[in-house]
Structure 1
């Protein structure tokens, strides 16, 4: 938790904020910075965030529940379509929507789609230009696009615009002020000591998957999934068995690496981070399994939480 984070002193502002946008605009980095804790995995790979993650910030002003959604992208296959569907559905029934745009790149088709979605919303909308630490500034192009959409849709929506850098923290305190101003007054939605309601098995699987992404880069991350089979919680150490799914036998060798070095690195790095998260030692046992076309298998997608 950050130093400012504390138990609320009674009823304050309390609400749910959906954080949306196309892939790789920095939504998960932004959530982690706002909470001062890592609750979402981060990488430059499309589809890094595959599940809807609730991150809970409790402080004297009240409580805010952030929905970190999968990034909308050009979908290929059932999994991609399901992730896009989940992201678009996340804005329903929330108290405010935070659209994150990449200020350093020109508007993409997915940005156009989200701006059109915001033009139909009745609740508070905040648009944050992320990556303000980079020299290239395309914010005027986004605002021109918004004005065109607003005119076309005859929309009365007036979003709050702000600029931030989720990487170095610029503008983040101001963004948090804006968000608290735009959620209703009410009691906390969760107990004060909960940071996320994300299931432990999925969180551990995500940490392992993040480490795989860091080593595999663009080689085959979309073909990789992780499922935690079992957690045995000892007093001093937790033993975890997890399966790493790939689609072809050739991919299995890539994940294991020469003489098992890549898989060993992933295990060691994941154990280290999980210890920092949970305050207990971890012993990970990782199995690499070939599951042909798992991204098209409804039951596997459902088990992984992607369907």
Structure 2
């Protein structure tokens, strides 16, 4: 007799944690595709990004959230709110921590929240390739806060390196075990439901983040104005506006003799072409918009509100 097929498993897992813990790198590693932009600058992710992984074991919808940080303006506060809300009502909440650095205030804040979560909690000790010497400190922090709050709540602990892939297969196997039986939430060929314009804007912003330092990346945003399909070859002509806070930042973003923005345009065009598999022409213009991070209407245009 042939065995009946196993029931499909399908559910939602949220990646949460403080800024620069490696959530987006881990997400891309788990789905084996570039879904979220990555840079060495904290707070790179500004929106909630859904990535869908479907394989013979079932389907997991991953939520990549902005990193929790000390917010000073409406954009930062919105990013924190998105992250906190994403941890509620999911099948698995993955607290991603940087085990190469000691616990920070934001890590303890997440622990305090997750002690009362109804989701299955996994603490992922990331950056094991850097030694993971502070892993014990995170376990101690969990136990200390649980005792303080009178909560006999346990978490699963997984050690991984998003950079090398170490520990990822074991983590993925456990996540599929935790997903409830049920039909797929998305068609099997869907990788993400993130809007195309926002995704392309992120790919452009990623290239600026990789080349700029200090305060400029956080004062920069990209709005894709238009995606026009060409008659030949199914290519795209894309036009986008780069927002900055001050006139001095405009010169930095453009670079000496326009070299920086030219390099960004070429690298971003290459990334978009690679992701969408079609010819791309990209036009960028820089606009000074003082205090755009405090302007609701601009945040709305940028997809942040």
Pairing 1:287–2:269 present:
no
Deviation of residue 302 (structure 1)? 1.6
Tell me the residue number matched to 2:72. 76
Counterpart check, 1:100 vs 2:66: no
- How many residue pairs get aligned? The number is 299
Q: Deviations over 1:37-82 (max 9, x none)?
A: 0000001112200000000000000000000000001111111111
CA distance in 1 between counterparts of 2:169 and 2:129 reads 16
Question: What are the ranges of 5 or more consecutive residues in structure 1 without an aligned counterpart?
Answer: 1-8
Q: Secondary structure at the match of 2:128?
A: coil
Aligned pairs for 1:204-243 within 5 A: 204-234=200-230, 235-236=232-233, 237-243=235-241
Counterpart of 2:299? 301
C-alpha displacement of 1:219:
4.6
What 5-or-longer segments of structure 2 have no aligned partner?
A: none
**Secondary structure of the corresponding residue to residue 210 of structure 2:** helix
- Structure 1 residue 218: deviation in Å? 2.2
Question: Does 188-197 or 72-81 show the bigger shift?
Answer: 72-81
Residue 19 of structure 1, aligned match among 9, 12, 15: 15
- Do the aligned residues in 1 keep the contact of 2:88 with 2:117 (CA within 8 Å)? no
Q: Do the aligned partners of 1:11 and 1:188 also contact (CA within 8 Å) in 2?
A: no
Report if the CA contact (8 A) 1:18-1:91 is conserved: yes
Shift of 1:217: 2.6
For residue 135 of structure 1, report the CA deviation from its aligned partner: 2.4
Q: Superposition pairs for residues 1-307 of structure 1, below 5 Å?
A: 11-234=7-230, 235-236=232-233, 237-307=235-305
**Cα separation, 2, equivalents of 1:158 and 1:45:** 32
Partners of 1:35 and 1:136 in 2: CA distance: 24
RMSD: 1.2
CA distance in 2, matches of 1:300, 1:92: 28
Q: 1:133 to 1:262 in 2, by over 3 A?
A: same
> C-alpha deviations, 1:167-190, integer Å up to 9, x for none?
000000001011111121111000
8 A contact 1:255–1:262 mirrored in 2: yes
Question: Are residues 136 and 176 of structure 1, via their aligned partners in 2, closer, same or farther at CA, if it must alter by over 3 Å?
Answer: closer
After superposition, give the CA deviation of every residue in 1:98-147 in whole Å (9 maximum; x if it has no partner): 11010000000000000111100122111110000112510111111100
Provide the TM-score with structure 1 as the length reference: 0.95
Q: TM-score, normalised by structure 2?
A: 0.96
Q: Does the aligned pair in 1 maintain the 2:126–2:132 contact within 8 Å?
A: no
SS of the residue 1:216 aligns to: coil
Offset of residue 303 of structure 1: 1.8
